[in-house]
Amino acid sequence: MTEVVALLDELQRIGKLVDGYLEPQLARRRPARLWEAAYHLPKAGGKRLRPFFTINVCKALGGREEDALPPAVAIELIQAFSLVHDDIIDRDSTRRGVPTVHKKWGVPTAIVAGDLLHIKAYDIVTKAALTNQRLARVLPNIIDEINRSTIEICEGQELDEELERKLQPTESEYFEMISKKTAALFEASTAVGAQAAESTSEAVESMREFGQALGIAFQIVDDILGVTADEKELGKPVGSDIREGKRTLLVIHTLTKGSCQERKSLLKALGNRKATARDSSTATKALISSGAVEYSRRKAREYTEKARTALLTLPESDYRTLLDNALTFVVKRTY
Amino acid sequence: MTEVVALLDELQRIGKLVDGYLEPQLARRRPARLWEAAYHLPKAGGKRLRPFFTINVCKALGGREEDALPPAVAIELIQAFSLVHDDIIDRDSTRRGVPTVHKKWGVPTAIVAGDLLHIKAYDIVTKAALTNQRLARVLPNIIDEINRSTIEICEGQELDEELERKLQPTESEYFEMISKKTAALFEASTAVGAQAAESTSEAVESMREFGQALGIAFQIVDDILGVTADEKELGKPVGSDIREGKRTLLVIHTLTKGSCQERKSLLKALGNRKATARDSSTATKALISSGAVEYSRRKAREYTEKARTALLTLPESDYRTLLDNALTFVVKRTY
């Protein structure tokens, strides 16, 4: 229990650090309409999980918080940029409980606002490196991690769309997709923390493994919550994953291992934006009765253990304990 | 005449250099559909003016071509990325004589393909800096130039849309807009050339002034060609600038200085996608009779001279002569 309190305190502290860093970068700039649109999502909060991992990995490897903060903020902006563009693509109208950028300012401004967040991610680390010698030394490595993950996010976005067009999506296609679309940025968040601490390439590699496995576990839990959480917890209507046709692990498991009736119930609502509440509810029940929720929980635990093994290559410290607790939190969270 | 031949030879040589560098970066990657969409516009050619300026500024300042090439290619990719997103926003269906990316692959893939080109711009300079010590030293400065110009491109895009909504756009608003939307990347192309040569901050500043004035002259000439060139030269239908409602210098001059009849003829077709060929032609005639074409030519010459003054701060060399000829070419070009 005290561990949870300590973790939540740290997440809150990181949230304030990130907010304090972002505000002068994004607020009260001109043209006002564009910068407001760009600031909209970062201002709406979020768990700040990725900056938490960057900063605490850096400290667990003997690095300094002030060197980790600019890349941590950059990672958060990459996340925001990709969400703004994803929301246009997925035609989502709410995110973090507020209207999406394109819903409020229109698609043209949302495209450009996303681009701005993308540039500011690079701008923040680059500007910091111009006055911080230590960061200047590792700047090419940090930008390289950011580039690699962002390329994978783009590829993952395309793979996700391809998966939705496939009649028989396989589990391995699913894992390739989430490894890029979701886990790549967790991987960058932990690897960049190690880079900011000027760690050995072995330590960087271990932190990549940690972030990658953590990110996969995170996404599977997200898939599960789309079915089991309530609307307030989710910040979007229950069953919307199904109606939007998202190929979650639960959907893929039910399509490949479910009974004929379960598959039929699921397919009636899957990707059908006009599905009734009853259709959605029947489809949700099929995901449960097929054993997909249980199976996904098991998979999430597997990846959590993989992440933990990579994490435990770090020397013991309070920071490592915090990271370990965060890993547990990611899998046990209810929103 | 020999100067023109030498310049065209050099532009062709740079074009091949850039193509050779880009091909392995963008071709035959997976997911194939996404990378094909990203490669579509860079493969369609273009004048490669910006890489020409980066490379020749670097050499005119005593730098090496191999250090200038990666940032030159990065600038070309920034240009491609911004065009892909602009075409979505402006709903343009052809560019460089081929269908636009969103027309061929749809808006979602075009958004992500643009993002990929954006990342590859950073990736190319960063990867080069990992193995090139000289580039590693100036990497923060180069990325800083790219960030600054790309932020301005985004702001310019928004200002352009705001200008289209204004009833009385002023000339100073026009210059602020094109200074960001078009000239910022020319400025980056020349400044980055100076950075790659590890020049003094004075030389970098002069090259910024050169690129900025050159970019403004380039845009004004573009505005003029939208009215005076034929469809084949333009790569798009004549009069499309008017029907799309673009606030060119010619339009603003006619709206502020034209006769009542000229303003009326222009407003009938301006921003009216359903304007007849006759309406477009009458509007075009108003742009000419109002003296806007002449006025714009004079302005373009003014900025060319400003650019030339900045250019002539460089020591005399064959590279400087090439740059000077390119400046003349930009203003005299017919497409």
> Which of the residues B111, B134, B162 would you substitute to probe the A interface, choosing the one with the greatest number of A C-beta atoms within 10 Å?
B111
For the stretch B82-122, pLDDT in tens is 999 999 999 999 998 899 999 999 999 999 999 999 999 99
Task: Supply angle C-alpha B2, B6, B8, rounded to 5.
Answer: 115
Predicted local confidence at residue B45, as pLDDT: 87
> Does residue A332 register a pLDDT over 90?
no
pLDDT bin (cut points 50, 70, 90) of residue A19 is very high
**How far is the C-alpha of A213 from the C-alpha of A222, rounded, in Å?**
14
**How far is the C-alpha of A186 from the C-alpha of A192, rounded, in Å?**
10
For the stretch B51-84, pLDDT in tens is 999 999 999 999 999 999 999 999 999 999 999 9
| Residue A152: closest C-alpha in chain B | B116
> Which of the residues A102, A107, A111, A155 would you substitute to probe the B interface, choosing the one with the greatest number of B C-beta atoms within 10 Å?
A111
**Average confidence (pLDDT) over B279-299:** 95
Task: Supply angle C-alpha B87, B92, B95, rounded to 5.
Answer: 80
pLDDT bin (cut points 50, 70, 90) of residue A45 is confident
Q: Which residues pair with A95 in a beta bridge?
A: A98
Q: Which helix (H) or strand (E) holds B94?
A: strand B94-95
> Does residue B233 register a pLDDT over 80?
no
- 8 A C-beta contact, residue B54 and residue B171: no
Q: Which residues pair with A151 in a beta bridge?
A: none
Give burial (CB, 10 Å; 0-12/13-18/19+) of B221.
buried
Query: Are the beta carbons of A154 and B116 separated by less than 8 Å?
Result: yes
Q: Which residues pair with B95 in a beta bridge?
A: B98
For residue A56, give how far its alpha carbon lies from the nearest alpha carbon of chain B (Å).
Answer: 25
- 8 A C-beta contact, residue A253 and residue A296: yes
Helices (H), chain B: 2-26, 32-43, 49-60, 65-90, 101-105, 107-131, 133-165, 171-178, 184-196, 201-228, 231-234, 240-243, 249-257, 260-269, 277-289, 292-311, 318-332
The two most distant CA atoms of chain B are separated, in Å, by 63
> Which of B85, B136, B155 is opposite residue A31, by nearest beta carbon?
B155
- 8 A C-beta contact, residue A204 and residue A194: yes
Predicted local confidence at residue B108, as pLDDT: 96
For the stretch A70-85, pLDDT in tens is 999 999 999 999 999 9
Query: Are the beta carbons of B144 and A127 separated by less than 8 Å?
Result: yes
Q: Which two tokens stand for residue A301?
A: 């635990």
How many CB pairs below 8 A link A and B? Answer: 112
For the stretch A77-107, pLDDT in tens is 999 999 999 999 999 999 988 999 999 999 9
ipTM of the complex: 0.95
Angle, in degrees to the nearest 10, between helices A171-178 and A133-165: 150
Give the amino acid at B236. Answer: K
Residue of A175, A187, A157, A193 whose CA lies nearest to A82:
A157
Predicted local confidence at residue B335, as pLDDT: 61
Predicted local confidence at residue A94, as pLDDT: 92
Predicted local confidence at residue B3, as pLDDT: 87
> Does residue B327 register a pLDDT over 70?
yes
> Does residue A169 register a pLDDT over 80?
yes
Q: Which two tokens stand for residue B297?
A: 């030519």
- Helix/strand/coil percent split, chain A, to 5: 80, 0, 20
For the stretch A183-216, pLDDT in tens is 999 999 999 999 999 999 999 999 999 999 999 9
> Which of the residues A109, A143, A149, A151 would you substitute to probe the B interface, choosing the one with the greatest number of B C-beta atoms within 10 Å?
A143
For residue B261, give how far its alpha carbon lies from the nearest alpha carbon of chain A (Å).
Answer: 34
**How far is the C-alpha of A83 from the C-alpha of A226, rounded, in Å?**
17
Contacts of A204 in chain B (CB under 8 A): none
Strands A98-99 and A94-95: antiparallel
Query: Are the beta carbons of A33 and B140 separated by less than 8 Å?
Result: no
Predicted local confidence at residue A333, as pLDDT: 81
For the stretch A299-328, pLDDT in tens is 999 999 999 999 999 999 999 999 999 999
Contacts of B109 in chain A (CB under 8 A): 158, 161
- 8 A C-beta contact, residue A151 and residue B30: no
| Residue B177: closest C-alpha in chain A | A31
Query: Are the beta carbons of A33 and B158 separated by less than 8 Å?
Result: yes
**How far is the C-alpha of A154 from the C-alpha of A176, rounded, in Å?**
13
Contacts of A111 in chain B (CB under 8 A): 85, 88-89, 111
**How far is the C-alpha of A267 from the C-alpha of A210, rounded, in Å?**
35
Predicted local confidence at residue B141, as pLDDT: 97
Distance linking the first and last C-alpha atoms of chain B: 18
Contacts of A162 in chain B (CB under 8 A): 31, 33
Beta strands, E only, chain A: 94-95, 98-99
For the stretch B275-288, pLDDT in tens is 999 999 999 999 99
